[in-house]
Homo-oligomer: A and B are copies of this chain.
């Protein structure tokens, strides 16, 4: 009997946004939720105590990276990914599919699985649907993702169709495996920007009855309206009583537009990667902290933000980047993660109060973005 369930609390009256609650053995995740990315067993530069205080409920780990280094067996011997990293809340691990097809070299795919060379040491490796689950079982993540076949976009329709078909076949093989009831399996809808292929893939996966459904292969350079078009046709085909996860997305404006379409879970490196590069998210748009104009600015990034970066001045943060101090990337990563969590928390409130559309418009206006571009 699975220890996971998803409770739908409220549907927004103005959009398809959903307020939900994802129950896991390691705690409840209030949705919509944003998962910070801890690629190699740590959210870059952020200690777990700091991470918890940003409001993060659940984090993501990368199966591909962890399998290569230090190796799933080492992590298993060290007590699993939770004990290893010190993060006690729920963890979702991806399947490695995206990285094998983007980071690794010489990826050779067959119906059996995918062979590739490690981008770290060139070592030859193989992921099969079974091996991807076995690795995630060693890691001991709470949510495991099935191995999927991700192709570059744009691409030939036949290539996308073939990858989508293989993704479903791999999902079937994953579904047939025995998994513990303190882990749950999510499937990934593929199909590129082709509405028909997306629908076929979604329907086939739904028939297999997974604990949750991800939409993959988006946010890979396509115009936003293409992503939203795919979400518009995919989300309604997914069961209402399972969490929906949009992988690798994204900018704050993307999150709100996807929430409006019924997405519940997100992950993205954007808050931390941008933080390391001196870019801060605020309700009035983005700030580039390397800019000289901040050098003696006594204001915090945001007056009402409770994060440690906002207990200092912009002048101080600018100084840290100018002086090459590690604390600059650390503080801005923490601020951006806090910004994302506060945004999602406010979004959850807006949904419950049936004013998500107005909320989204107000945020876009604050960021200086036209609604036409983020429909």
A positions within 8 Å CB-CB of B: 40-42, 44-50, 65, 69-70, 74, 77-79, 83-86, 295-296, 298, 308, 311-313, 315-316, 318-320, 322-323, 325-327, 329-331
Across the interface, do B84 and A312 meet the contact criterion of CB distance under 8 Å? yes
Partner of A308, one of B49, B77, B311, B319: B49
In the complex, residue of chain B having the shortest beta-carbon distance to the beta carbon of A45: B326
Chain B residues with CB below 8 A from A77, complex form: 296, 298, 315
A316 to B85, Cβ gap below 8 A? yes
Q: Which of B79, B315, B320 contacts A74 (CB 8 A)?
A: B315
In the complex, which residue of chain B has the Cβ closest to the Cβ of A53?
Answer: B49
Distance, CA A70 to CA B313, complexed state (A): 13
Contact pick for A47, options B65, B79, B308, B313, CB 8 Å: B308
- A sample of 12 inter-chain contacts (CB < 8 A) reads A40-B319, A40-B323, A41-B316, A41-B323, A42-B327, A44-B326, A47-B327, A69-B319, A70-B322, A78-B313, A78-B316, A330-B330
Is the Cβ of A319 less than 8 Å from the Cβ of B45? no
- For A47, what are the chain B residues with a Cβ–Cβ distance below 8 Å? 50, 308, 327, 330-331
Distance in angstroms between the alpha carbons of A74 and B85 in the assembled complex: 39
CB closest chain-B residue, reference A323? B40
**Which residues of B have CB within 8 Å of A42?**
320, 325, 327
Which B residue's beta carbon lies closest to that of A49? Answer: B308
**B78 near A327 (CB under 8 angstroms)?**
no
